[in-house]
Amino acid sequence: MNLLFVADPLSSFKIYKDTTFAMMRAAQSRGHQISVCEPQHISWLCGGLVQAHGSSIRLTGDADVWYQTASQWLRPLREFDAIVMRKDPPFDSEFFYATHLLEQAEREGARVFNKPRALRDHPEKLAILEFPQFIGPTLVTRSAQDVRRFHAQHQDIILKPLDGMGGMGIFRVRQDGLNLGAIIETLNKEGAQTLMVQKFLPAIAQGDKRVLVIGGKPVPFSLARIPQGGEVRGNLAAGGKGVAQPLSERDRFIAESLGPILAARGLLLVGLDVIGDSLTEINVTSPTCFQEIFDQTGFDVAAMFMDALELSLKP
């Protein structure tokens, strides 16, 4: 197969931990051809097809010069056997426009994973609202008064922007309410921007677990991202320590409950974030942690992904 990965610049990859790299490596090991482009290289002209400028590459196995460019091309996206959308967040206007171009490519015959419409329909903070039976106390609002009432009820809360990633912009406010007003002003911009507020979950001390779901089925290990040095955030980008561990019964129940629903919507790969027994986010844009789980457990998550991708392409 000829696979196109729509991703960030290859120069930005940290291949020792990059999940997209792990996917590429698994694909090449099975004899598939790898092509890459960035979202800004996709275009459409009336009367023609969605196309992109990109490159065909081959992985070298060398950590320093890890790929070689075999050729550069301009071709319609429908000529590829599958397109894997792996552009990292944030989900901004340009990401939104890219999903529309990819959806047009689908109408022309392309196969895109995750499905562009599903990417738009599942914003990573707000997608949990559909599944209240699995989440802790949560508020989504622009109102400072609503936030204050929520804090008065729950005493210890987490506030976060809806467009954040990697733990960016997350605040904890305890019972004393210290700096609550300033934090609300920072996040909601005087009522112009919606934010999410959640009851603080003490189980974060045991880790913010990333539970991967591939083709509707859970990976048997999660990566618990454990806060370090007094941090409240477990995100690896915020200095959290990643510890792979078998799924708990609750982790598996949540994953098996949501997996088939999300897979049926065209979400081949999903990253569920679970703290204690509570679902906190549903990540669909560019879920990670393949290599950390493999390095610590030996379970080949990238191979499971390629199995699911190949199965999805069968008639």
Exposed (0-12), middle (13-18) or buried (19+): which is 271, by Cβ within 10 Å? buried
Two structure tokens written together for 268? 């081949």
Contact 213, 279 (CB under 8 A): no
Comparing CA positions, the residue from 117, 79, 99 lying closest to residue 265 is 117
Edge-first strand order for the sheet with 195-199 is: 138-141, 195-199, 157-161, 171-173
* Pair (211, 247) in one structural domain: yes
Report yes or no on 121 lying in a domain.
Answer: no
Count the residues in the chain.
315
Domain count, the chain: 3
Coil, helix or strand at residue 299: coil
Contact 289, 241 (CB under 8 A): no
- The pLDDT confidence band at residue 68, using thresholds 50, 70 and 90, is very high
* Pair (141, 83) in one structural domain: no
Our CA angle for 189, 195, 200, nearest 5°, is 125
pLDDT tens for 203-225 read 999 999 999 999 999 999 999 99
* Pair (164, 98) in one structural domain: no
* Pair (181, 274) in one structural domain: no
Contact 86, 286 (CB under 8 A): yes
pLDDT tens for 84-130 read 999 998 888 999 999 999 999 999 999 999 999 999 999 999 999 99
* Pair (12, 50) in one structural domain: yes
pLDDT tens for 126-141 read 999 999 999 999 999 9
In sequence order, the 6+-apart residues with CB closer than 8 A to the CB of 80 are 2, 3, 4, 35, 110
Q: How far is CA 253 from CA 62, 99, 260, 315, in A?
A: 40, 31, 12, 31
Expressed as residue numbers, the domain containing 148 is 137-200
Report yes or no on 252 lying in a domain.
Answer: yes
In sequence order, the 6+-apart residues with CB closer than 8 A to the CB of 240 are 167, 207, 208, 225, 226, 227, 228, 231, 233, 234
Instruction: State residue 91's pLDDT score.
Output: 86
Report yes or no on 119 lying in a domain.
Answer: no
Output the pTM of the full model: 0.94
CATH number at residue 88: 3.40.50.20
Instruction: State residue 227's pLDDT score.
Output: 87
Report yes or no on 120 lying in a domain.
Answer: no
pLDDT over 80 (residue 253)? yes
pLDDT tens for 226-248 read 988 767 766 777 678 999 999 99
**Residues recognised as catalytic:** 125, 160, 210, 225, 233, 273, 281, 283
Instruction: State residue 101's pLDDT score.
Output: 98
Report yes or no on 217 lying in a domain.
Answer: yes
List helix spans (H) across the chain: 19-29, 93-107, 116-121, 144-154, 180-188, 249-264, 290-297, 301-312
Report yes or no on 256 lying in a domain.
Answer: yes
Q: What is the signed CA dihedral for 197, 201, 207, 212, rounded to 10 degrees?
A: -60
- Report the interhelical angle of 19-29 vs 290-297 (nearest 10°): 70
Looking at 200, 222, 243, which one is the last position of a domain? 200
Question: How far is Cα of residue 29 from the mean position of the Cα atoms in its chain?
Answer: 24
The chain-wide mean pLDDT, for the chain, equals 95
Q: How far is CA 306 from CA 167, 214, 225, 310, in A?
A: 29, 10, 25, 6
* Pair (8, 51) in one structural domain: yes
- Max CA separation in the chain (angstroms): 62
Distance CA 184, CA 159 (A): 8
E strand map for 176-248: 195-199, 208-214, 217-218, 221-226, 241-246
CATH number at residue 193: 3.30.1490.20
Across 276-304, average pLDDT: 97
- The pLDDT confidence band at residue 144, using thresholds 50, 70 and 90, is very high
* Pair (95, 79) in one structural domain: yes
- Residue matched to tokens 């008065």: 152
Instruction: State residue 115's pLDDT score.
Output: 98
Looking at 149, 179, 200, which one is the last position of a domain? 200
* Pair (178, 232) in one structural domain: no
